[in-house]
Amino acid sequence: MQRPDRREANQIRSLHCMLGQLSRVDGSAQFSSGKTSVLCGVYGPIDVKVYDEKLDRAHIEVKFRPDIGVPTTKDKWVESAVRSTFEKEVLAQLHPRTLVQINLQVRENDGSVDATAINATTMALVDAGVPMKTTVAAAACVVLKDGSIVADPTKEEAELAVSTHTFAFANGSSDGPLYVDSRGRFSMAEYNRCYDLCRLTCDRILAFMRTALESKIQKESAISAV
Amino acid sequence: MAAAETTTPGQLSFAIETFERIHPTEFQRRFLSQGTRHDGRGFAQFRPTHIVRSTISTAQGSATVRIGNTTVVCGIKAEVSEPDVSTPKAGYLVTNVELSPMCSARFRPGAPSEQAQVASEHISRLFQSAIDVESLGIEEGRACWVLYADIVCIKHDGNVLDAAIVALQAALRDLQLPKVEFDAVSGVVSADKSKMQPLEVEALYPTTLSVLDGNYLVADADDAEEQMAASSVLVVLTDSAVANIWKRGALVERKLVEKCVAMAEARKQELATLLN
């Protein structure tokens, strides 16, 4: 089966990540997969509102803004997805009675936005120096009408899909998922094939994240050495 | 005091209710480590579920669902409106989940909480594919049915999402729409209330499972258990396929999700008999 952009079925779009673009936040990252691009700015740990204050850990807040228009319940849904993914991965107990605020802004939406938002958040949290158990990567894939599975779908491909699957995995040895959102009509066999594909994709994304962080650190140490 | 006399000096003793309040996690853990739960249920056991249809006579379709102490009422109001420009042949379903301070002390009056908005959105996405939206069209580009589904939680004792999905499902099956005629000249839609017809709804069977204290997988968590859950898995099945797997929270083993789907299959039989 030929994909509109001539990619292989298991091929993701080219990844791009820029760190520390924003100067007023504690950490920021722009993560792009093909045309889809999400900008993330992280503040934290900062002062928390009394209502949200937690005595034994930091409160984690996520704000997600779409590329067009004002935020709707759809965006609240993404906020909750991102928060639930990072709530247990950020070492929140190290900063009790504080707030870690994650601000996400979609720059362009060409499919797989949820996964890209999670990837951007990981990079921004690392850039901000927020302590985490490990890095997190997310990937999406769709099952098309003919039963074929394609990785990192564009908006056009996602609209034609019978089911869409988004998985997030933590970097490390454990093989379990951190976040799963599979919707549409599918069988468990299809789910497992999507799981395997996204697991492989996430490993690639995690390797990419590592390279992006290494090159940033190298650049910084080169500057400080001069 | 009799209780104080029987304890050895230096040892604290207090009522079980006090223990539950000051150490909720440890309280639950004592039950879980004994292979049971604080309300006496087994790990895979669901609370008694009741579905009553047509509970609101003023709504076109309605249902009340109880899962243990959790109570959710769903009412559907059908209105005629203009279809969306992008889908001129289809009508639409608007879902709204209300979690008011009436159902739990955790909710504040005012704007809907995040939990309520997320539940509304999730349910709306689920049902988009369960009903044939084109069957809600009346006249292409001119008129269509809009179903406003208000899902109100009256008692919040955990697992509201399951109850809300079942309630909307039952209310949609209860819904009767009159046969309508569209007058192209005047643009008026006239209804013939003597000819009512039901809406085709694909069955959705939701099951929520929670992971407590690291490694206990429990079905249908109540409010106290939900508060300590590290992660939760929602599985929605149709008669022939899986419609949704939604796992949030801490890392779980891959096999666990598959186990959840197997448990959802068992629950599906139970729900199918209740719904039909």
Provide the domain limits for residue B151. Answer: 38-275
Does residue B27 form part of some domain? Answer: no
What pLDDT shows up at residue B1?
43
Query: Which of A79, A185, A192 would you mutate first to test chain B, the one with the most B CBs within 10 A?
Result: A185
Task: Kindly calculate the radius of gyration of chain B based on its CA atoms and give it in whole angstroms.
Answer: 22
Judge whether residue A223 has pLDDT over 90. no
CA distance B37 to B119: 26
Of the candidates A87, A177, A183, which has its C-beta nearest B243's C-beta?
A: A183
Q: Is residue B146 one of the residues assigned to a domain?
A: yes
What is the distance in angstroms between the Cα of A176 and the nearest Cα belonging to chain B?
Answer: 4
Across the range B56-64, mean pLDDT stands at 95
Say yes or no for a CB contact (<8 Å) between B252 and A177.
yes
CB-CB neighbors (< 8 A) of B249 in chain A: 84, 87-88
Question: Best mutation site among A50, A84, A136 for testing chain B: the one with the most B CBs within 10 Å?
Answer: A84
Closest-CA residue in chain A for B262? A188
**Beta carbon pairs, A and B, within 8 Å:** 81
B239 touching chain A per CB within 8 A? no
Nearest chain A residue (CA) to B249: A84
- Of B93, B182, B190, B195, nearest to B140 by C-alpha is B182
**Do A81 and B251 lie within an 8 Å CB cutoff?**
no
Do residues A190 and A161 make contact, with C-beta atoms less than 8 angstroms apart?
Answer: no
Contact B247 A180 (CB under 8 A): yes
User: Cβ separation of A88 and B261 shorter than 8 Å?
Assistant: no
Question: Predicted confidence band at B274 (pLDDT cuts at 50, 70, 90)?
Answer: very high
The answer to whether the Cβ–Cβ distance between B246 and A180 falls below 8 Å is yes
Q: Is the pLDDT of residue A176 over 90?
A: no
Place of tokens 């797989």: A112
Residues on chain A touching B252 (C-beta within 8 angstroms): 176-177
Count of structural domains within chain B? 1
Examine residue B56 and state whether it is found in any structural domain, yes or no.
Answer: yes
Contacting residues for A47 by C-beta, under 8 A, at least 6 apart: A98, A99
Domain A15-221: give its CATH architecture. Answer: 2-Layer Sandwich (3.30)
Q: Note the ipTM here.
A: 0.94
Compare CB distances from B254 to A76, A77, A177 and report the shortest one's residue: A177
> Could B253 and A181 be called an inter-chain contact, meaning their C-beta atoms sit closer than 8 Å?
no
Burial annotation B62-97 (CB, 10 A radius, 16+ → b, else e): bbbbbbbebbbbbbbbbeeeebeeeeeebbbbebbb
* Confidence band of B10 (pLDDT split at 50, 70, 90): low
Tell me what pLDDT residue A44 has. Answer: 84
pLDDT confidence of residue B268: 96
CA dist B258 and A121 (Å) reads: 28
Confidence of residue B8 (pLDDT cuts 50, 70, 90): low
pLDDT, tens digit, 9 for 90 and up, residues B180-203: 989 888 888 888 888 899 999 999
Query: What average pLDDT does range B255-272 have in this prediction?
Result: 95
CB-hemisphere CA count at 13 Å for A112?
A: 31
Domain contains B159: yes
Mean pLDDT (whole number) for A147-174: 93
Q: State yes or no: pLDDT of A32 exceeds 60.
A: yes
* Inter-chain residue contact A188 with B254, CB threshold 8 Å: no
Task: State the virtual CA torsion across B134, B135, B140, B146 in degrees, nearest 10.
Answer: -90
Task: Please determine, for residue A224, whether its predicted confidence score (pLDDT) is greater than 90.
Answer: no
Residue in chain B nearest A86 by alpha carbon: B249
Note the pLDDT of residue B127: 96
> Where do the structural domains in chain A lie, given as residue ranges?
15-221
Q: Is B120 on the interface with A (CB under 8 A)?
A: yes
A93: which residues sit within 8 A by CB, 6+ positions away? A56, A57, A58
Nearest to B94 by CA among B143, B150, B135: B150
Instruction: Answer yes or no: are the C-beta atoms of A177 and A197 closer than 8 Å.
Output: no
Q: Which residues of A touch B (CB under 8 A)?
A: 73-74, 76-77, 79-81, 84-85, 87-88, 170, 174-188, 191, 195
The residues in B 78-97 lying below 8 A from A, measured between CB atoms, are none
- Please list every residue in chain A whose beta carbon sits closer than 8 Å to the beta carbon of residue B258: 188
Residues of B in contact with A180 (CB under 8 A): 233, 245-247, 257
> For position B221, which CATH number holds?
3.30.230.70
Instruction: For residue B31, tell me if it sits in a domain.
Output: no
Q: Is B246 on the interface with A (CB under 8 A)?
A: yes
Please report how the helices B254-275 and B160-174 are oriented relative to each other, as an axis angle in degrees rounded to 10.
40
B181 touches chain A (CB under 8 A): no
> How many angstroms separate the CA atoms of B151 and B62, rounded?
10
Residue B129 near chain A (CB below 8 Å):
yes
A10: closest CA of chain B, how far (Å): 21
